[in-house]
Structure 1
Amino acid sequence: MNPSQVEQDIAGAPAHEPHPNQFALLRQRRFAPFFWTQFAGAANDNLFKFAFTVMVTYQLSVQWLQPAMAGLVIGALFILPFLLFSATAGQITDKLEKTRIIRFVKDFEIVVMLIAAAGFVMGNAAILLACVFLMGLHSTLFGPVKFAYLPQALSERELTGGNGMVEMGTFVAILLGNVAGGLLVAMPEIGHTAVAVVCVALAVLGRVVAQWIPKAPATDPHLVVNWNPISETWRNLRLAHGNIVVFRSLLGISWMWFFGAVFLSQFPSFAKEVLHGNEQVASLLLVVFSVGIGVGSLLCEVLSRRQVEIGLVPLGAIGMSVFAIDLYFASRGLQAYASPLGAVEFLREPAHWRVMLDLLLLSLFAGLYSVPMYALIQLRSQPTHRARIIAANNILNALFMIASSVMAGALLAAQFTVPQIFLFTGIANAVVAFYIFMLVPEYLLRFYAWVLSRIIYRFKVRGDEHIPSQGAAILACNHVSFVDAVLLMAASPRPIYFIMDHRIFRVPVLGWIFRLAKAIPVASQKEDPATYEAAFEQAAKVLREGDLLAIFPEGGITRDGTLQEFKGGIMKIIERARADGVEAPVVPMALTNLWGSFFSRIEQGGAMVRPFRRGMLNRVGLNVGVPMKAETVQPALLRERVQALLEP
């Protein structure tokens, strides 16, 4: 593929051959150079910071920087630029071509690492502290472009997998950087020089690879940059708040960083005081945590059918709380030893395996929690404002991580043990997650849809590329069971608003779910004229706002398993939409093999009366047809299209 082809792919919706999984992206120029560039940068950040921390703690005697304070000062200096300059970085990323920014940032990294190399060779802590701040600025500039580049380079179906790869790569880079930094700086006589050489080499390598990243055009080239970081930070947060689903997702991601920072900051104390291990055990905890995040991030594409599946977020939140709480119980009453255990001795004790498993699983579920949120933010943010939204996310992340340090310090001052801090954090996570899901019910709704379509049923979707990725559309589907709407939710990465018979809202649990989904109740004109008119007005509003509207044109659930005649209500919806200037295509759909299942009626009885009457994990499906232009739709013709989709 030549450069012009790559640039053309990224300039619009990427056109490319489908690939089997997210790892195949590593063979494609639109992703691979970017992945390895960010990988090298994350590794270098952490190698530099950890080597400096070890050097100040064990090798240098600096009166004004005590070893006990070194980690805190280095961490605070690194995060300070995120608070000061994220808003400016977001503006620059929206205004300029993204590859140009990436290459500038990598050039800047080389300069900083050359200065740091001099600091390591001379053993000068002041120079290295200045470089910590500059590397924090490097990461601040790279953060918005890192996540704003992906939606331009990847299709919607690749977004979850691409984010999973980046998240996995970041944590592997963090792990390798920390391990390498600790090993290199400890080398007798040549340790400081070795760190200096490797830091510069990684920076140069990242810059070389960045040369192969294809161009990603500016999304708002006429933007006038506001260089006042305080006013722009406030404006960024207000801009993010303009899309409430996106803003609350930013809060959800920031909470994940709060949660993770609590555990990462307490690993050394946990290893020493609770697990009775040495530095090797503390490093082992970091390895397990990083592996868990990486595995969870990669699992997202597998569990989401390669779409942005935010139903995984509640699943991740549940796992984070369950295993954080169990970590408290697993670490109680562990045997003390005369001398600290090394990694090998630690792993020989069966009681320690439960601790490691809890840590692995809580971090795995954190990966399941975070990746879909990142993908949702990228998908739902306006392209012209996307980098500024990511910048707002970085600001909130920094604030939440600072808050986590304050909370952990306050709990330790209140005589909490480290396991008790983990218990407190696990319970707090459950409370915060529940609050977020009540504010943004779409997460819970997608979770129900995910469970139904993957655990209760084996749900296969054909033709889902016909569901429009943006703009108004009417989805017209046959009505077989009481969970048809939930299955349609599972098939679409976009939220769907349903027009449904008002009587279904009386069904226990399902009625609550549909009210949560803001489904539109409809009654016959004879039965309730007011509800009838209100339903069509709400439907028109949904289409005016560019959303998806789903309707079951039969007017009720089939009683014999066959497709019934279509009512004329869909014509009224189309006419109102056209009167508002909205030409919404109609997408025919057919749910298959649901008749006779637990949630459908059967000829000998009603629905939901005999559990497991078809066993577990029944195969059901959804066939999606080619959209019809609004002016061509007639109830009889639409019924023919749906009937054709029902046939094998």
Structure 2
Amino acid sequence: MAAPARTGPTMAHHRQGLFALLGTRRFLPFFLVQFSGAFNDNLYRNALLVLLVSGAVAAERVNLWVNLAAGLFILPFFLFSPLAGQLADRCDKARLMRWIKAAEALIMAGAAAALVQQAWAWLLVLLFAMGAHSSFFGPLKYAIMPQHLGAGDLVAGNALVGMGTFVAILSGTIGGTLLAGGPDPHFWVGGGVVLVALSGWIASLAVPPAPPAAPNLRIDWNPLRQLAVLYRLAAARFGVLPAVAGISVFWALGVSYLTQIPNFAVAVLGGTPALIALLLSAFVVGIAMGSLLCARIGGARGELGLVPLGGLGLALFSLDLGFAVRGFQPLAEAVPSLQLLHQWPLPRVLGDILLLGVCGGLYVVPLYVHLQRRAGSDSRARVIAFNNLLNALFMVAASLLGMLALGVLHWSIPDFFLLLGLLQGLALVLLSIWAPDWLVCLAGWVVGRLWFGVRTLHFPEGRGTETWVLHCPPDPLAVLLAVTRSGRPTRLALPTALRGRRWRWLRRAAPGSAPWPEPGAEEGPVCHCEPDPLVAVTAVAASRHYRLRLRRRGWRVLEVEITPQARPGTASGGDVPGIAAPCAVPGP
């Protein structure tokens, strides 16, 4: 089996275990800050919604106030995301995080006072302020992780953050509902949001410094003009825009399921609030499982090939969820959830929702890692701000689609789930055409990792700051392994003789372009394995040349060998020390 590639000291952290990050100062304080923020957002918003529909305002104005509350929370993402990205790139992220969490504590203190006074208009204003807080924190959340975690722990960090975010969303939603429905709701909700905000601010004090990526950046206060700049920054880097679109599709699906599952449990399944909690918990636990599974099987670099698998699972299980309850007649009277689960197809429904979450985790974690790696250190926060803005746009579109299908067209919720499955399948097809490297990475993962056991190619004596130039035989299987199993961003250069359809799909996934010269007609394919974008390179990086040899019998790979070789045009005998690195590969 192939030995892991040595890409630098950060790789050692990944081998310490996924949860070892929670014991480090570079991650634990940040994790607590982001968890408390997501929890508090949902605690306050859902408690306010429950109070509004429970008689706080006149019955004929409830729908107006509820929709106004939802709109006021999402509006700041459109107004402030461009500014938030600029500030996160220009300032020390840890210091900016402390100011944002201090602002949250002040906002929650005002909310507690407004709850006691039952000043509902002020509570809506403060809900807008909490949305602004979230819009400013979002770019920090994903831009600070590459600085603190480096290349080796970025996948594990994203998996833990993804798991924690959805656990915080669920627990905040349930907590806000319970506190608002209990005795003295104004006191308990107000006290709760203030305590959570203070805990987040205290945790932010322990976040290590994160120096600014672009300290000389000039702030542009015009959100429309800056939005065009953010789009150009994202479009300028290979694979970033498809990742942003894919993440936005995930959040559109996520908000649709979190919104419709409660009504689905009561109106379609005939369940109780306990069944609502069970189904929501299954969805969130599934996302946590999928995120952790992605970190386990995807390795330290993340496996982009898991994205098509996760997207396909989202489409299939959404369709199965819609078909599962066709013809189901809910019971005339409510029964406990555990007894209800003994009646088919309720176990199938629970399994579909759990697997929807698992596939969601497998789908979205590699996309976030891909986005963070390729966004560029000097503009990462601004690209993530653009991603957050597009996420908000897709979530609003998903909400409007739900209102149209369920409220205007009077579709059933199972029919709406079928529509979501079809739309997810269509989105996956379009995204795979837009980003063919997803499918190439999937093919490399299936063929290399699962079939031949090649987890990562080993480059003897290769340094993390070097470009590894890998000369391959004219064999599509060998090039596929080189492109997808090197553990690095790889550019492929093909000689003129290898430009036919047989090779076009590989070239689209790892395009060869300047400054790499095209190989001569006598050479085979050449893969330029570039240094990881998260590895600091202080000088002009040298290149080191290797030769890939693939010994196989038919489709069975017997051995993969990478040998250092002399640079083209140098004297024979080789200018790079090292020994051959044979990688014995088990047969299928």
TM-score, with structure 2 as normaliser: 0.87
1:83-162 alignment runs, 5 A limit: 83-162=78-157
Candidates 276, 290, 294, aligned match of 2:288: 294
1:164-243 alignment runs, 5 A limit: 164-188=159-183, 190-243=184-237
What is the distance in 2 between the residues matched to 1:50 and 1:439?
38
What is the distance in 1 between the residues matched to 2:519 and 2:46?
54
Q: 2:417 matched to which residue of 1?
A: 422
Do the aligned partners of residues 494 and 583 (structure 1) sit closer, same or farther apart at CA in structure 2, a change above 3 Å counting?
closer
Candidates 316, 324, 330, aligned match of 2:324: 330
SS in 2 for 1:586: strand
Do the aligned partners of residues 74 and 591 (structure 1) sit closer, same or farther apart at CA in structure 2, a change above 3 Å counting?
farther
Q: Is the contact between residue 474 and residue 551 of structure 1 (CA under 8 Å) also seen in structure 2? A: no
Q: How far off is 1:119 after superposition?
A: 2.3
Q: 1:356 matched to which residue of 2?
A: 350
Larger RCO (CA under 8 A, 6+ residues apart) = 2
SS in 2 for 1:36: helix
Q: CA offsets per residue over residues 245-271 of structure 1, 9 Å max, x none?
A: 212211111111112222222123212
Q: 2:29 matched to which residue of 1?
A: 33
What is the distance in 2 between the residues matched to 1:464 and 1:126?
63
Q: 2:3 matched to which residue of 1?
A: none
SS in 2 for 1:595: strand
What percentage of residue pairs aligned between the two structures are identical? 34
Q: Is the contact between residue 468 and residue 545 of structure 2 (CA under 8 Å) also seen in structure 1? A: yes
1:237-276 alignment runs, 5 A limit: 237-276=231-270
Q: How far off is 1:496 after superposition?
A: 2.8
**How many residue pairs get matched?**
565
What is the distance in 1 between the residues matched to 2:196 and 2:266?
32
Candidates 588, 596, 614, aligned match of 2:546: 588
Which amino acid is the alignment partner of residue 27 of structure 1?
G
Q: Is the contact between residue 39 and residue 168 of structure 2 (CA under 8 Å) also seen in structure 1? A: yes
For structure 1, the residue ranges without an aligned partner over 5 or more in a row are 1-11, 520-537, 557-568, 571-581, 601-619
Tell me, yes or no, if structure 1 residue 543 matches structure 2 residue 516.
yes
SS in 2 for 1:30: coil
Q: CA offsets per residue over residues 37-63 of structure 1, 9 Å max, x none?
A: 111111111111111111112252346
Do the aligned partners of residues 589 and 111 (structure 1) sit closer, same or farther apart at CA in structure 2, a change above 3 Å counting?
farther
Do the aligned partners of residues 461 and 230 (structure 1) sit closer, same or farther apart at CA in structure 2, a change above 3 Å counting?
closer
Superposed CA RMSD in Å reads: 3.2
What is the distance in 2 between the residues matched to 1:52 and 1:183?
12
What is the distance in 2 between the residues matched to 1:387 and 1:143?
9
Q: 2:19 matched to which residue of 1?
A: 23
Tell me, yes or no, if structure 1 residue 432 matches structure 2 residue 427.
yes
Q: 2:301 matched to which residue of 1?
A: 307
Q: 1:576 matched to which residue of 2?
A: none
Which amino acid is the alignment partner of residue 317 of structure 2?
F
SS in 1 for 2:38: helix
Q: CA offsets per residue over residues 337-379 of structure 1, 9 Å max, x none?
A: 1123443333232420101111111121111111111111110
What is the distance in 2 between the residues matched to 1:427 and 1:416?
15
Do the aligned partners of residues 247 and 65 (structure 1) sit closer, same or farther apart at CA in structure 2, a change above 3 Å counting?
same
Q: CA offsets per residue over residues 113-142 of structure 1, 9 Å max, x none?
A: 101111222333222211211110110110
Q: 2:452 matched to which residue of 1?
A: 457
Do the aligned partners of residues 135 and 448 (structure 1) sit closer, same or farther apart at CA in structure 2, a change above 3 Å counting?
same
Q: CA offsets per residue over residues 546-582 of structure 1, 9 Å max, x none?
A: xxx99999859xxxxxxxxxxxx99xxxxxxxxxxx9
Q: Is the contact between residue 476 and residue 551 of structure 1 (CA under 8 Å) also seen in structure 2? A: no
Q: How far off is 1:500 after superposition?
A: 5.4
Which amino acid is the alignment partner of residue 546 of structure 2?
P
Do the aligned partners of residues 299 and 18 (structure 1) sit closer, same or farther apart at CA in structure 2, a change above 3 Å counting?
closer
For structure 2, the residue ranges without an aligned partner over 5 or more in a row are 1-7, 528-539
What is the distance in 2 between the residues matched to 1:150 and 1:110?
23
What is the distance in 1 between the residues matched to 2:59 and 2:583?
80
Which amino acid is the alignment partner of residue 552 of structure 2?
W
Q: How far off is 1:282 after superposition?
A: 2.2
Do the aligned partners of residues 634 and 331 (structure 1) sit closer, same or farther apart at CA in structure 2, a change above 3 Å counting?
farther
Do the aligned partners of residues 266 and 403 (structure 1) sit closer, same or farther apart at CA in structure 2, a change above 3 Å counting?
same
Which amino acid is the alignment partner of residue 646 of structure 1?
P
Greater shift, 415-424 or 88-97, is seen at 415-424
Candidates 388, 394, 397, aligned match of 1:394: 388
TM-score, with structure 1 as normaliser: 0.80
